Structure 1
Amino acid sequence: MSTSHKFRLGLVINPYAGIGGALALKGSDGADIRQKAMAAGAEQLAMHKTKRALEQLASLYDCFEVYTASGDMGESVATELGITTHIVYRPADKQTEGDDTQALIRALGPYTVDLLLFAGGDGTARNVFKEVGNTLPVLGIPAGCKIHSGVFAITPSAAGKVLQKVISRELVSLFDAEVKDIDEERFRKGEVRARYYGEMQVPAELNYIQAVKMGGKESDELVLQDIAAHVIEMMEDEPHRIFVMGSGSTVDYIMHAAGLDNTLLGVDIVQNMKIIASDVTASTLLALTQNRDCSLIITLIGGQGHIFGRGNQQLSPEFIRRLGKNNIHVVATKTKLNQLGQKGMIADTTDLALDQALSGPMPVITGYKDKVLYFVRSE
């Protein structure tokens, strides 16, 4: 597979995940539990399970790079497999803790990884959630005693197969999955108390939601209704936030579904479900969004998959940089994305460095609570 964007995979391994399971210790949380398990001869399996996942990507090792911590938190497995590896964090002690997981994720920040792969159990998922929230796609390799969270693949190999699709630029669905954990002290007393902590974005094999299908194919009208419902809910949930509505027929549909007039070939600004400016220029857009919470709703313009540079030049490089990739929401049907195949979407902002920064996987809203992960390619 040739692509100018080399996928950046963040890798976090909890080397002690699941270590208490074989010894019936009902979990691995706490330094005393890990020490007890190690003293009793427990085997560390998280690295082995991570290797099983990454071996599914053997044909793609030249298409991605790993960003991780030294030693058993990621380096040892990645380098053993011959994957290009960058060390961004070194734990102070051999026996790592949850604080090391969080410190590693913070250290990954400047490298803008495309997806975070982690091996552990529910405790590790909680550590990841504390740092990532819902801002970055993640995928869990099940390696702990407790696997109640929905962010884990069914098996390590299954995690590798999903990741293979992502790196190969195939369409995958993107779900919000629950992070849950149980109280180990209560669990050891025979009492199960699960607690919900939040949700993270998780890729999975592509699914078409039954509600928007007719005869096995997407119905454009039903899909557009679902996309509009998702975006309108976003706008209603954050009345203080400014929503910049880009050009194109899909955005036009959303605006009319919201009962708002729309400039089909222009850019409008909405706040609290009201239009505050129509058909704005680049300079007006910069002025009205200065120091404001802001999101951009855009769709593919033209037949080549452009999200910037075709019919929306009002979205200047300065505005896009200030906005940030996480606040760009692309809307499109899965049918339209499938027609593009592996060509990817195009950012042609006139700023080559910005185009490169926007490249890589980006969530695309394809229905109500339904997203896929698709690539922006850099030229």
Structure 2
Amino acid sequence: MIQKIGLIINPVAGIGGSVGLKGSDGEEIQKKAIALGAVKKANIRAETALKELIPFQDEIELFTYPGDMGETICNKLGFKVKVLGDAAKEKTTAEDTKLAAADMREQAVDIILFAGGDGTARDIYTAVGNNTLVLGIPAGVKIHSGVYALNPRSAGKLIALMIQNDTFETQEAEVMDIDEDAFRRGIVTAKLYGYLKVPYAKHYVQNMKSGGVAGEKLTLERITHYIITTMLEDVLYIVGPGTTTRGIAEELGYDNTLLGVDLIYNKKVIKNDANEKDVLSSLERHPHAKIIVTVIGGQNYIFGRGNQQISAEVIKRVGKENIIIISTQDKLNINFNVPLIVDTGSPEVDDYLKGYYRIVVGYEDMIMYKVGNYDD
């Protein structure tokens, strides 16, 4: 049973996602994201998780940091909190996250609940190692680490279960991060930084992202050929990131944005590396549209991990019936019988997306697969 909970929010986590910046590390990137119209969403996602704890607020002791690092949301929801650290800052840094985690360790909290991405997980690990139990609320752009709940609601529900139960299992989960500068150039160089202790709950916590499987080249060619031959005229195709979708660009003869979103109309690229505003603007001109996304191997996400440019609003406008999911069978076999997962930032859209979809796994070769939560 847990009673003392630490809350840390990285207010700028994920700010670069919807505007296509593929990360949020560094002050310059954060300034650029805001200039492009990005909206801070980490507090919103933390709020979604904390709402699951409202029925238990008299049973827990909550510790947090000033302002947007936790205090503001806790006050909004009516939680009584002990605020650690100095006065609220207009800008927070990685050092603030490390200090907050260290202070909560000193307070002997039972668990640190934090909202952020892989960079935030690294900061938590630097501060507390694997001696303090933690759980991440996914709020970043790139979430390769295995220390995060499936989505904000899952984080809150898992903490609620831990409040009510005397015993629960834990495990060590990987803290992974990538070089963002290389990432923006289309180069993925992930590194293992260490392990954090997290609650073990298969239906609530995500896996670490896995890489591609050797021998997939022919299958990818078949998928690509099928997608291109079935493309309709005067329809906008919103193509998500990934090596599985890269073949579409290569076959059509344009430079693919491996880690971004490309827009295709009548088999010609009209926008490389589109952000959310670009996509919405194109939908105004071309309302008939389809979304092509792939499955993240090992994690089973199709929305909400690295493709935040395809936002909840974009999905609503396009419609779930116009979503095309492509994947090799090998990727699906990694988590056989586990549903595909969405985490769009909108619980309503996440619920709307639930159901069965045809997954393109070859040329005219499809399988039915479920999108939803583990417990649906």
What TM-score, normalized to structure 1?
0.52
AA of the residue aligned to 1:18: G
AA of the residue aligned to 1:43: V
Please say if residues 21 and 27 of structure 1, whose CA atoms lie closer than 8 Å, have aligned partners that are also in contact: yes
Separation in structure 2 between the aligned mates of residue 89 and residue 136 of structure 1, nearest angstrom: 19
Corresponding position of 2:60: 64
Counterpart pick for 1:23 among 3, 19, 25:
19
Corresponding position of 2:41: 45
Residue 82 of structure 1 pairs with residue 78 of structure 2? yes
Separation in structure 2 between the aligned mates of residue 6 and residue 81 of structure 1, nearest angstrom: 20
AA of the residue aligned to 2:167: L
Separation in structure 1 between the aligned mates of residue 177 and residue 61 of structure 2, nearest angstrom: 31
Separation in structure 1 between the aligned mates of residue 145 and residue 198 of structure 2, nearest angstrom: 11
Corresponding position of 1:200: 196
Separation in structure 1 between the aligned mates of residue 49 and residue 169 of structure 2, nearest angstrom: 19
AA of the residue aligned to 1:28: S
Please say if residues 91 and 100 of structure 1, whose CA atoms lie closer than 8 Å, have aligned partners that are also in contact: no
Structure 2 counterparts to residues 83-98 of structure 1, below 5 A = 83-90=79-86, 93-98=89-94
Please say if residues 181 and 194 of structure 1, whose CA atoms lie closer than 8 Å, have aligned partners that are also in contact: yes
Residue 36 of structure 1 pairs with residue 32 of structure 2? yes
What 5-or-longer segments of structure 1 have no aligned partner?
208-379
Q: Secondary structure of the residue that 1:48 maps to in structure 2? A: helix
Separation in structure 2 between the aligned mates of residue 131 and residue 47 of structure 1, nearest angstrom: 22
1:250-297, Cα deviation, whole Å (9 max, x unpaired): xxxxxxxxxxxxxxxxxxxxxxxxxxxxxxxxxxxxxxxxxxxxxxxx
AA of the residue aligned to 1:48: I
Structure 2 counterparts to residues 1-379 of structure 1, below 5 A = 7-90=3-86, 93-205=89-201
Kindly tell me: are residues 206 and 193 of structure 1, through their superposed partners in 2, closer, same or farther at Cα, counting changes over 3 Å? closer
AA of the residue aligned to 2:7: L
What TM-score, normalized to structure 2?
0.52
Kindly tell me: are residues 92 and 65 of structure 1, through their superposed partners in 2, closer, same or farther at Cα, counting changes over 3 Å? closer
Q: Please report how far the alpha carbon of residue 6 of structure 1 lies from its aligned counterpart in structure 2 after TM superposition.
A: 7.7
1:43-67, Cα deviation, whole Å (9 max, x unpaired): 1110010011111112111111211
Aligned positions, number = 203
Separation in structure 1 between the aligned mates of residue 105 and residue 135 of structure 2, nearest angstrom: 17
Point out the more displaced range, 20-29 or 166-175.
166-175
Separation in structure 1 between the aligned mates of residue 78 and residue 42 of structure 2, nearest angstrom: 19
Please say if residues 178 and 190 of structure 2, whose CA atoms lie closer than 8 Å, have aligned partners that are also in contact: yes
AA of the residue aligned to 2:193: Y
Q: Please report how far the alpha carbon of residue 173 of structure 1 lies from its aligned counterpart in structure 2 after TM superposition.
A: 1.9
1:300-357, Cα deviation, whole Å (9 max, x unpaired): xxxxxxxxxxxxxxxxxxxxxxxxxxxxxxxxxxxxxxxxxxxxxxxxxxxxxxxxxx
Identity of aligned residues (%): 44
1:53-92, Cα deviation, whole Å (9 max, x unpaired): 1111121111112111110000011111111111111367
Please say if residues 17 and 144 of structure 1, whose CA atoms lie closer than 8 Å, have aligned partners that are also in contact: yes
Separation in structure 2 between the aligned mates of residue 126 and residue 108 of structure 1, nearest angstrom: 16
Separation in structure 1 between the aligned mates of residue 161 and residue 79 of structure 2, nearest angstrom: 18
Separation in structure 1 between the aligned mates of residue 198 and residue 2 of structure 2, nearest angstrom: 20
Separation in structure 2 between the aligned mates of residue 122 and residue 179 of structure 1, nearest angstrom: 7
What 5-or-longer segments of structure 2 have no aligned partner?
204-376
Q: Secondary structure of the residue that 1:63 maps to in structure 2? A: coil
Q: Please report how far the alpha carbon of residue 98 of structure 1 lies from its aligned counterpart in structure 2 after TM superposition.
A: 0.4
Kindly tell me: are residues 37 and 166 of structure 1, through their superposed partners in 2, closer, same or farther at Cα, counting changes over 3 Å? same
AA of the residue aligned to 1:102: K
